[in-house]
Structure 1
Amino acid sequence: MPGSYRDFPPKSPQCHRFAERVEDVKPSVWVEFTGLAAECKAVNIGQGFPDSPMPRFVARMLENVAQHPERTDWHQYSRGFGHPRLTNALAKVYSSTLGVNVNAQTNVLVTVGAYLSLYYSFMGWLNNGDEVIVLDPAFDCYVPQILMAGGVPIPVVLSLPADPKSSADYTLNVKTIEEKISERTKMIVVNNPHNPTGKLFTQEELEKIADIAGRHNLLVVADEVYEWHVYGGKKMMRFASLPGMYERTITIGSAGKAFSVTGWKLGWSVAPAELLEPLRRIHQNCVFTCPTPIQEAVAEAFEKELEILKTNPAESYLKKGITLDLIRQRDRMASILRSAGMKPIIPDSDETNDPLDFRFVRWMCREKKLAMIPNSAFYTDINKQDNDHFVRVCFFKTANMVENATETDLKTFKDFLTQYNAVAEQCFISCITDFTTRTVNNAEDQCCSNCLDKFLKMTQRMSLRFQEHQLIQNEAQEPLGLK
Structure 2
Amino acid sequence: MAKRVQARRLDGINQNPWVEFIELASENDVVNLGQGFPDYPPPDFVVEAFQHAISGDFMLYQYTKAFGHPPLTKILASFFGKLLGQEIDPLKNVLVTVGAYGALFTAFQALVDEGDEVIIIEPFFDCYEPMTLMAGGRPVFVSLKPTPTQDGELDSSSNWQLDPKELASKFTSRTKALILNTPSNPLGKVFSKAELELLASLCQQHDVVCIADEVYQWLVYDRHQHVSIASLPGMWERTLTIGSAGKTFSVTGWKVGWVLGPDRLMRYLHTVQENSIFHCPTQTQAAVAWCFQQEQLHFGQPSSYFVQLQQAVQRNRDHMIQSLQSMGLRPIVPQGSYFLITDISHFKSKMPDLPGAVDEPYDRRFIKWMIRNKGLVATPVSFFYSVPHQKHFDHYIRFCFLKDESTLQAMDKKLQEWKDELEA
Same fold (TM over 0.5): yes
- Alpha-carbon displacement from aligned partner over 1:437-456 (angstroms, at most 9, x marks no partner): xxxxxxxxxxxxxxxxxxxx
Distance 2:123 2:83 in 1: 27
Number of residue pairs matched by the alignment: 401
For residue 207 of structure 1, what is the amino acid of its counterpart? Answer: E
The AA in structure 1 aligned to 2:87 is N
2:304 matched to which residue of 1?
316
SS in 2 for 1:187: strand
The one-letter amino acid of 1:265's match is K
Instruction: Tell me, yes or no, if structure 1 residue 60 matches structure 2 residue 48.
Output: yes
**2:359 aligned partner, one-letter code:** N
Given the alignment, which residue of 360, 363, 370 partners 1:364? 370
Write the letter of the residue equivalent to 2:390: K
Which structure has the bigger radius of gyration?
1
> What are the superposed Cα offsets for residues 343-368 of structure 1, whole Å, 9 maximum, x if unpaired?
11110016321100011111111222
1:172 is matched with which residue? 162
Identify if the C-alpha distance between structure 1 residues 18 and 42 changes in structure 2 by more than 3 Å, giving closer, same or farther. Answer: farther
The answer for unaligned runs of 5 or more in structure 2 is 337-355
Q: Which residue identity lines up with residue 340 of structure 1 in the other structure? A: M
Deviation (angstroms), 1:293: 0.7
Q: Match for residue 35 of structure 2?
A: 47
Give yes or no for contact 2:39–2:403 (8 Å, CA) kept in 1: yes
Aligned to 1:188: 178
Match of 2:360 among 354, 363, 376: 354
Residue range with higher mean Cα deviation, 58-67 or 296-305: 58-67
Query: In structure 2, do the counterparts of structure 1 residues 195 and 18 end up closer, same or farther at CA, with 3 Å as the change threshold?
Result: farther
Q: Which runs of 4+ in 1 moved over 6 A?
A: none
- Is 1:27 matched with 2:32? no
Say which of 411, 416, 420 aligns to 1:411: 416
The letter of the residue matching 2:267 is: E
Q: Secondary structure at the match of 2:96?
A: strand
1:139 equivalent in structure 2: 125
Q: Is the 8 A contact 1:174 1:209 kept in 2?
A: no
Equivalence map 1:253-332=2 (5 Å): 253-309=243-299, 313-318=301-306, 320-332=307-319
The Cα offsets for residues 195-248 of structure 1, whole Å up to 9 and x where unpaired, read as 110010100000011011111111110000001111222211001000000000
Q: CA deviation at 1:381?
A: 0.7
State the superposition RMSD in angstroms: 1.5
Q: Residue 106 of structure 2 contacts residue 273 of structure 2 at CA under 8 Å; is this kept in 1?
A: yes
Give the one of 382, 385, 393 matched to 1:387.
393
TM-score (norm 1): 0.80
Tell me which residue corresponds to 2:217: 227
SS in structure 1 at match of 2:161: coil
| Structure 2 equivalent of residue 99 of structure 1 | 85
Partners of 1:182 and 1:108 lie apart in 2 by 30
- Counterpart of 1:157 in structure 2 is 143
Q: What SS does the corresponding residue of 1:186 show, helix, strand or coil?
A: strand
1:73 Cα deviation after fit: 1.7
**TM-score scaled by structure 2?**
0.91
Secondary structure in structure 2 of the residue aligned to 1:188: strand
- What aligned pairs does 1:120-131 form with structure 2 within 5 A after superposition? 120-131=106-117
Q: Is the 2:181–2:214 Cα contact (8 Å) retained in structure 1? A: yes
The partner residue of 1:118 within 95, 104, 112 is 104
Tell me whether 1:340 sits opposite 2:346 in the alignment.
Answer: no
**Which of these residues, 189, 196, 203, is aligned with residue 206 of structure 1?**
196
Shift of residue 418, structure 1, vs aligned partner = 4.3
The 2-side partners of 1:354 and 1:16 are apart by 32
CA contact (8 A) 2:172 2:206 kept: no
Pick closer, same or farther for the CA change 1:283–1:31 going to 2, 3 Å.
farther
- Residue 32 of structure 1: CA displacement? 3.3
- Determine which structure has the larger helix proportion and give its number: 1
Distance of aligned partners of 1:150 and 1:345 in 2 relative to their CA distance in 1, 3 Å threshold: same
- 1:253-307 Cα shifts (integer Å, max 9, x gaps): 0000000111111101000112011211111111111011110010011011112
Corresponding residue of 1:378? 384
Contact 1:28 1:140 in 2 (8 A): no
Which position in structure 2 is the counterpart of 1:398?
404
SS in 2 for 1:387: coil
* Residue 417 (structure 1) shift: 4.2
2:347 alignment partner in structure 1: none
Q: 3-state DSSP class of the match of 1:313?
A: coil
Whole-Å separation in 2 of the counterparts to 1:229 and 1:255? 13
User: Which residue in 1 is equivalent to 2:342?
Assistant: none
Code of the aligned partner of 1:248: R
With a CA cutoff of 8 Å and minimum separation of 6, indicate the structure with the bigger relative contact order. Answer: 2
Q: What's the CA shift for 1:165?
A: 1.3
Deviation per residue, 1:45-84 (Å, 9 max, x gap): 011111121011011111122234xx22212211111000
- 1:84 and 1:252 mapped to 2: Cα distance? 18
